[in-house]
Amino acid sequence: MSLKEIIKTAKTLVADDKGLLAIDESTVTCNKRFAESGIPQTEEFRRTYREMIITTPDLGKCISGIILYDETIRQKKKDGTLFVKAITDAGIIPGIKVDIGAKDMAGHRREKITEGLDGLRDRLREYFQMGARFAKWRAVITIGNGIPSRGCIEANAQALARYAALCQEAGLVPIVEPEVLMNGEHTMEQCFEVTEEVLRTVFNQLYIQRVTLEGMILKPNMVLPGLTCPKQESVEAVADVTVECLLRAVPAAVPGIAFLSGGQSGELASARLNAMNVRFKSLLPWALAFSFARAIQQPALEIWHGEEANVSAAQQALYHRASCNRVARRGGYTSLMEKTQNDNM
Ligand code: 5MM
C-alpha cells in the first residue's frame, strides 16, 4: 500500500462529516460493561452484541470507520459472513486496536505505559491481510499530585510514534490516541497545560520517528475539568480551550482530529463537539470529528440487554447517537434532537 493510499484513507476517515465508532473494548472492558448491565459475559454474547452494532441499518451514513479488537476482527455474523466483510459492504472502513493495554510503569507510581510494540510488525501485516486499513493505539496520562511525570509522557509519546511508523510501513493509517484522563479533581486549566505538553511531545516524537502527518489521525481528549473538580465549565468554555490547545500543538498537516469521549455522556460529547464546529470550523486546518465508544454505544447497550427482541430498538438508539455526532460536525446539533428521539422511543 503506497503512502498515497494511506493519505487517501486518512482523509476518507474524516470526510463527509462522518466519524469513527470504537468497538475495540478488550475482553476485560467489554465484560465489565456487560456486568454493569446484567448481560452474561461470554464470547457468544460479545459476538452477538458486536453483530447488532455493525448491522445497524444506514450506519455508513454517519460512520466512516469502525475500530475492532483482536477477538472481534476474527468473528463472523450468525450467517457466516466475516465482520470485516459486513463492515466493508456497509461502506465503512474496518480498523483494529493494536496496543495490548496500559500497564503499571516501572519507577513511576500511579502512572501507566502502553505495551504492544514487540512483534507488532507481524501483527500489523496479518491485520492488513484480514482487511483492516487503519489501526489504533491508546496511551493513558493521569493528572494527580506530582503527575504526569516527564518520564511517563516521553515514554508513551515514543511508543505512539514507533507504533505509527510501523503502521504506515504496513499500509495502515495510525490513529494516535494520547488520552489525558478525566478522573480527578484537577481544573480545566491543569488539563489544558498537561494536554498541551503531551501533544507537543507526541508530535515531536512523530517527527523524530519519520511519521507522515498527512497519513494519520489524532484521537485526543477534549480539555475538561476533572470529574470531581468543584468548578465545572460551560460547553462553550470547553470548546474554546480545547481548540486553543489543539491550535498550539497540532500541525496543520494532520487531516483530522477525532475526539475520544472519555466517559462524558453522549449528549455532552455531542454538544461540545458541536460548539467547537459552530465557533471555529471555518478557521481550522484540520477536521474536528469523533471517535467515540461509550458516547455512541451506551444507550444501545442498555436497551439491548442481551435480548434478541431488543435488537431493533438498540440499533435505533445507536444510529441516533451516531447521527447526532454527524450533525455536530456540521454545527447543527441541538438538544431538540434528543427530544425527538425520546418521543420516538
Ligand atoms: C478512551 O477510550 C477509547 C474511546 O472510548 P470512549 O469514547 O468511551 O472514551 C476507546 O477506543 C478505548 O481505547 C477502548 O474502548 C479501550 O479498551 P480497553 O479495554 O483496551 O481499555
Phi-psi region of 114 (alpha: psi -120 to 50; beta: other; left: phi over 0): beta
Burial string for 290-324 (b: 16+ CB within 10 Å, else e) reads: bbbbbbbbbbbbbbbeeeeebbeebbbbbbbbbbb
The helix (H) or strand (E) run that includes residue 57 is none
Span 246-271, pLDDT tens digits: 999 999 999 999 999 999 999 999 99
The band of 342, judged by pLDDT with boundaries at 50, 70 and 90, is: low
CB of residue 173 inside a 6 A radius of ligand 1:
no
Question: What fold does the segment set 3-344 form as a domain?
Answer: TIM Barrel (3.20.20)
Q: What are the boundaries of each domain within the chain? A: 3-344
Ligand 1 center–CA 293 separation, angstroms = 6
Confidence (pLDDT) at 339? 85
Task: Tell me, yes or no, if 308 is annotated catalytic.
Answer: no
Q: Which three cell numbers stand for residue 334?
A: 441541538
Q: Look at the block and give the residue holding cell 444506514.
A: 58
81 Cβ contact partners less than 8 Å away, ≥ 6 residues apart: none
> Is it the case that residue 40 has pLDDT exceeding 80?
yes
The residue type found at 16 is D
pTM: 0.97
Span 274-323, pLDDT tens digits: 999 999 999 999 999 999 999 999 999 999 999 999 999 999 999 999 99
Task: Tell me, yes or no, if 61 is annotated catalytic.
Answer: no
The residue from 25, 51, 111, 177 that is catalytic is 177
Handedness of CA 103, 171, 205, 119 (dihedral sign): positive
> Rounded distance, CA 183 to CA 179, Å?
11
Span 49-66, pLDDT tens digits: 999 999 999 999 999 999
In whole numbers, what is the pLDDT of the chain averaged over residues?
Answer: 97
